[in-house]
Amino acid sequence: MKKIFIGIFVIAFSVVFLLAISNSVDLFTYNDSLSSDSVSNGYINKNVTKNQSEVIFNETTDAETGSANIVTSIIVNYRSFDTLGEVTVLFLSAIGVSLLFGSTGKLAERKKSGFILRTAARIIFPMLLVTGTYLFTHGHLTPGGGFPGGAMIAASFLLLYLADEKFVTAIEKIKLVEGSAGTLYVLIGITGLVTGGYFLANFIPTGTVGQLISSGIIPLIYVLIGLKVGAEITSVVSRYLQEEVTS
Amino acid sequence: MNNPVLLIVIPLLLAFLSVIIKKAGKWLLLVGLLFNTALAFFITTGETIIGGFAPPYGINLVVDQFTLVGVILINTLMLITIVVSFDLVGKYSIVLLTALAGINGMLLTGDLFNLFVFMEITVIAAYILSAQAKKYHHTITYLVIGSVGSVLYLLGIILLYNLTGSLNMADVAAKLPLLTTKELLVPVLLIFIGIGVEVKLMPVSGWVKGVYSNANRLIAPLFASVIAGTALFVFGKLFVSVLPVSDTLTLLMLIMSVMTFVFGEFAAFNQKRVKNILLYSSIGQAGLVTALFISGLVYAAVILLISNVISKLIMFTIAGAFTEKYETDDYESLNGVFVHNKFTGIAFTIAALSMAGIPLLIGFYAKLNILIGFFQAQNYVLPAIILLMAIVEGAYIIKLLLALWAPGKEGQVSEKSFAVEKKQLLSVKNTIICLIVALVIIAGGVLIDITEKVVTDGQPLLGDQSPSFTISQSKGGE
Amino acid sequence: MIRVASLLLLMIGLYGLLSTRNVIKMIISINIMELGVNIFIVSIGFVTNGVAPILTSQVNSSLSNFVDPLPQALVLTSIVIGLGITALGLAFARKLYKKYGTYDLAKIGGMKDE
Amino acid sequence: MTLITVLITLLTLAAVTYLLSLVNSKLGAYFTIVTSLATIVMLFLIKDSIGQSYSLSFFTFKLTTVGWYFSMVMVTVYFTTAFLNPFWIKKMIYPAAYNLFFLVSLIGTIGMFFARDFITLFICWETVVWTSTFIIQMGKSRKSSYVYYVVSAIGSMVTLFAMMLVYQVSGTLEISTAFSALSGQPVLALIVFFTFILAGLSKIGIFPFHVWLPMAHGSAPHTFSPVLSGGLVKMGAFIAYLSVTAFAAYEVFANTFTIMGIPAPLYIIMVLGAISIVVGTVMAIRQDDAKKLLAYSSVANGGYILIGILLYDQIAFAGGMLHLISHALASATAFITIAIVAYRTGTTKMSELGGMIHRMPVTYTVYLIAIISMAGIPPMGGFVSKWLILQGLADRGLLFLAAAAFFGSIGSFMYVFRPLSAVFLGQLAPKYEKIKEANIMMQIPMYLLTIATLLVGVFPNVVLRVIADIQLEAGIQEIVLVGNTIVVSNGVLDALRVFIVFGYGFLIALVIFILRRKSRRVTLMDTYTSAEFIHTPELLHYSSNFYAPFERLTKKPYPVLNLYEKVSIKIKEIGHMAESLFSSSKPAITIFWIIIVFAIFFLGGVL
């Protein structure tokens, strides 16, 4: 009964909310093209600092950020500071989880996994690892990047956990990866500050748009992010699994 | 090397490093705090671009006088809080370092989405810290409400992005006059509620009681003065310089702020526990500060904010010590606790009196500025409310002080023998720190010309045009 | 239409928060709200007949009709933050369960704090 | 020597006293005597430079006759009371703080009386409020300290509103010029008048702000009650003075509705004064605690002072000003004697005392003279001042006020007589057989105050000359003084002649008393009890249930304190409501509020 009232209440509010929000945003029709005063035009044409009208795949060189994936260029270059914060958020929640659970090192009692899973895991684990690595090394060229790549690496470890009830990750080593990746990210930023005058400035030549070795610090950072995210999520997962279950 | 970005980056770097060098965590925290506090004093006003991309495209840090005050104040307060309760830091040094980075990011950033990110960093750190009390259900409440707040804030800024095509604060502010009030209603409201959760505005401050009242000597002042102060500075920046909306919306926001102020003070009057009194009083004061920001009295708001966070720092530290030593903070069971801790008591009293607005303390200077500002704006209702609340405020503060200073039952002459068992509340070092902070409260209220110079540096804060009280004014006819 | 749907997801999340006292369900509700907002953010950047903002050998010029890349970048950040909060929230929930033996906030609120 | 030097010297002395008290609290207490004596000396030294202005940081001062007069009254009370400090200081929980606050409150009052601008006035005012609040808590009750603060805060906060309002209208904080901007704005002036005078009303204990007096006076440390009643209450009179001089109520309200020739707002305040006289008198009669009784008498006398000052004319104003000093002296004396009795016996409850005249004759005599003055019986100071006030009221034909004043005069016989007979006369309780007279150090203030009371009573013109200067300063007609006589509309008053006549009468009575003395001393246990053993002889004491018949008449106490309590409970209820509505630990409630707020905002934004 109570839930019905809440339902009616929320429905009524939804109507109000949709009416209200329709003043600010058109709910049913979409633009045909990007509006000219949006900042995104600058990102797409890579002409925020340089006077450049068009970027051509595999031709344009020395663009202000050489990433073919524009979203990546925003994440890791134009708004890289956000990403540093984002990584920190993940870092912080990993720390939070580990602080909450403490490191008992003991495994929760788990069911023994089946033969198929155990066998398949051994095959799939390296594939996942490789795919994850591929995702973050090609983040500046193709969809993907550090975050999905890292998540995939973490997934591969989760798979190991599922497959082997005795599997334990060396949390200390994971932490080392986590910490040093983060430190390196900041150090890259500071190097940018020292050499280019801006924190996180792209101080490496950006190369040709579309090449693997291009776009300056972007792949570098994405690799770091990939490692860091992978390490963090793995650490979160293993914390959950290692936490002693008190009956 | 006085680049403000270092305020954010160095703590982060140290946080990452302390994962590797585990044992050095506490000392790295101290290094980070000292570095930040020292650097904060050397920051100059101006704009810092990050990544080399000019503002509407890249992220920038904006340091104006308002932010500068915030940065110096908040970093110093955080240093003091942590130095005072350094023994309680324990494993939380990384969290505190990231919180330090997040707080500085919130204060400095000139980008709406970046603000969201740093706000999340700060808030998540706050969630983790609040769990130190082991009262996980309060933390969950905080987490749920906080997450809803950030979701709403995010929705708000994305709507603003849709309307203006930008996320940069200055850029958005420049494009706002082209928009109608109707269009702005929802985004501004969403941002208001989103920030309101952190600022502790009344209907959305449900989490505050559970979290603050169970916090210890380290966490309570950290929340009540450092994080709350940061949230208020951000509120001021957003609603004075970025989203200066007008008309009905302002009126409604003002009503909500004043409601928070009145109800907060009333609720504080109703409390028996020291921390509860303080937390409701800080809710009330936050309401007053937001009301001042919305009314455009920036200078008065900043002074009130400063006086309030400094007072709360001392008082929450000592209130935390109460629970630590006596396992209660009900002021009636702490009868005469200051008999044994006179200097701690003096620091507490000065802070409390400043909160009650007694003359020659900074709280009174704040009150004067508020009154002068409102009267100048021909607003007579709010000063009346503020003064009536000052009576309520004074009433609960005097009740608290009397209980803590003067042991004894009604009808009996107050004597030492009636006081609670003798325990040392704060160590000598901490007492001295508290007294020094209390001295700042006095100095800020007496040397008002210097206070004004330090706070404004001769420029109006965020274009504030309201008058402030100066020494020459009292001379009137001369 | 997708915008309305995403906002309705937000409302479903709100409904969940209003109607449940179970911590896990609350965290799920928050996830639904975040999901709604994330979809909404992406939909803000949507351009009719637009292509993904990636330069490839097929779409090789920046003058193509790209969808807005910025909301996509923002949404990535927002997702990760959501993930962090969820992880933390679940950890709290688990500690809560260990301590009180229930996920029901109302029951816990009634218990005496020791 | 300038005023600034004086204030800085005093602050230094206060600090020195504090430091000395930390070493030896008794030494510090002696030093409070030295400091207050130094204050008197310095006030005399700066008397020549009256009319000059000074400033220090944001403090500005102007040396005025009225300020000087008020300061002298205040410092006299402080000085004489300070003699008691050494004996009580060991009993204080914070002796050093007591000494410091004692002196700082004195400095605060002096600063306030010489304040030239509102901020200085307010700061000094609040300083006194807070220091005295902290002193009162060292006494018997925390609640009284709380009530004292709250009532004071009501006054001072509302007054701060008035000050800021005036500042906004006039653009200046200087008291005299700021108020002048109000002329021609009757509504604003009305608001400012009522809000400004509220501080005065709350401090002088005018109905309905009198609740704090009996509580605070009754439970403050014995050494502070004389200061509270004799001194600090008079700060309210100063505010009343400002409201008729600087604010110029008579001119501002000249064109408004008048009652009996007095502008309505002023008349309302005077009626409140009259009510206080009645309430104070009636309540004083009912009290069992001597200090509470005297506190209620202060309420009544505050009413006289207020009416006198607000009448703002040649005679009643002089009367009010004179009553200020005569009540200060009498009340301080009475409180000091009660304090000494309490020092020796440990109680201030009249039903537990009695017969002290046998053990403390000096104290008795001093108390007698004090209450004679307080009741307005010639030839003491209170007579002249009350007579002048009544004369002024009669001249104006203000019958209601005059009736209240007469009632108060008659009632005061009843209440001042009660402690006299209950504490000093009658049978001595067995447990007090061994007590001694006050020692010589405690006797000094009694002698000083008695001499002062007599001087004011016999040679009132010494004081009235200063008052005439004040009247000159305030711009009203000065009181006419010829030699030792006061000239009023229907004749002259020669206080010396009155004294001589009464002196003869007293002598004759004394002679008869000594010659015809046949009384036998009856002890408390000397009772015919029909072989029953008396377990509680105190109940047989005639001072228990002293005014029983009268008390039955006024059985129902008035509900003012209840009003404050009700407001406080209401505030708590609202606070509780807010707490339960907005501070739920359930997230759902907060989400609900978010939705509601959003809906309200949307509707408000659209409409």
- Residues D136-187 have pLDDT tens digits of 888 888 888 888 899 889 988 999 998 888 888 888 888 888 888 887 788 8
* Residue pointed to by tokens 């000139």: B110
**In degrees rounded to 5, what are phi and psi of residue B46?**
145, -175
Question: For the residues D62-77, what does the mean pLDDT come to?
Answer: 90
**Percent helix, percent strand, percent coil in chain B, to nearest 5:** 75, 5, 20
| Separation of first and last alpha carbons in chain A | 35
Burial classification of residue B126, based on how many CB atoms lie within 10 Å of its CB (0-12 exposed, 13-18 middle, 19 or more buried)? buried
CB B311 within 8 Å of CB B354: yes
Å from C44 to nearest chain B CA? 7
- Does the distance separating the beta carbons of B158 and C89 come in below 8 Å? no
Express each pLDDT in B134-176 by its tens digit. Answer: 788 888 889 999 999 999 999 999 999 888 888 888 888 888 8
Task: Find all residues with CB under 8 Å of D567, minimum gap 6, and list them.
Answer: none
* Chain C neighbors of A239, CB-CB under 8 A: 91
The CA-based angle B446-B450-B452, given to 5 degrees, is 100
Residue A83 placed within a domain: yes
Q: Which of B324, B292, B386, B302 is nearest to B69 (CA)?
A: B302
The CA-based angle D234-D237-D241, given to 5 degrees, is 145
- Give the three-class secondary structure for B86: helix
Structure-block tokens of residue B346: 């003096």
* pLDDT the model gives residue C113: 47
Amino acid at the residue D512:
I
C109 in contact with B at a CB cutoff of 8 Å?
yes
Q: Which residue of B has its CA nearest to A36?
A: B165
CB D376 within 8 Å of CB D382: yes
Given a cut of 80, is residue D271 above it in pLDDT? Answer: yes
Return the percentage of chain D with pLDDT > 90, whole number: 7
Structure-block tokens of residue D67: 């300020």
CA separation (Å) from C22 to A147, B134, B332, D31?
30, 19, 37, 69
Å from A78 to nearest chain B CA? 5
* Selected residues 10-29 of chain A with any CB under 8 Å from a CB in chain D: 10, 13, 16-17, 19-20
What does pLDDT average to over chain D? 84
Return the percentage of chain D with pLDDT > 70, whole number: 92
Structure-block tokens of residue C71: 């909301």
Identify the DSSP state of B225: I
Q: Is the ipTM of this complex over 0.85?
A: yes
- Does the distance separating the beta carbons of C61 and A74 come in below 8 Å? no
C105 in contact with B at a CB cutoff of 8 Å?
yes
* Residue pointed to by tokens 């070092």: B429
> How many domains is chain A partitioned into structurally?
1
Round to whole Å and give the CA distance between B415 and D52. 46
Domain boundaries, chain B: 257-478
User: Which stretch of DSSP H or E encloses residue B102?
Assistant: helix B93-108
Domain boundaries, chain D: 1-114, 115-505, 560-606
Residue A168 placed within a domain: yes
**Separation of CA C18 from chain center:** 17
* pLDDT the model gives residue B306: 93
Express each pLDDT in B174-209 by its tens digit. Answer: 888 888 888 888 888 899 999 999 898 888 888 888
Express each pLDDT in B402-411 by its tens digit. Answer: 888 888 777 7
Q: Which residue of A has its CA nearest to C51?
A: A33
pLDDT in tens, chain A (247 residues): 788 888 898 898 888 888 888 888 888 888 877 777 788 888 888 887 777 777 788 777 777 787 888 888 888 888 888 888 989 999 999 888 888 887 555 666 667 778 888 888 888 999 999 998 888 888 888 888 888 898 898 888 888 888 887 777 777 788 888 889 999 998 988 888 888 888 888 888 888 887 777 778 888 888 899 999 888 888 888 888 776 544 3
* pLDDT the model gives residue B103: 93
CB D461 within 8 Å of CB D106: no
The set of chains that have 3 or more CB pairs under 8 A with B is A, C, D
* Chain A neighbors of B152, CB-CB under 8 A: none
pLDDT grade for B118, boundaries at 50, 70 and 90: very high
* Selected residues 545-604 of chain D with any CB under 8 Å from a CB in chain C: 585-588, 591-592, 595
Residue A222 placed within a domain: yes
B121 in contact with A at a CB cutoff of 8 Å?
yes
Round to whole Å and give the CA distance between D413 and D402. 17
Domains in chain C with CATH codes = 2-47+67-110 (1.10.287.3510)
- Does the distance separating the beta carbons of D602 and A20 come in below 8 Å? yes
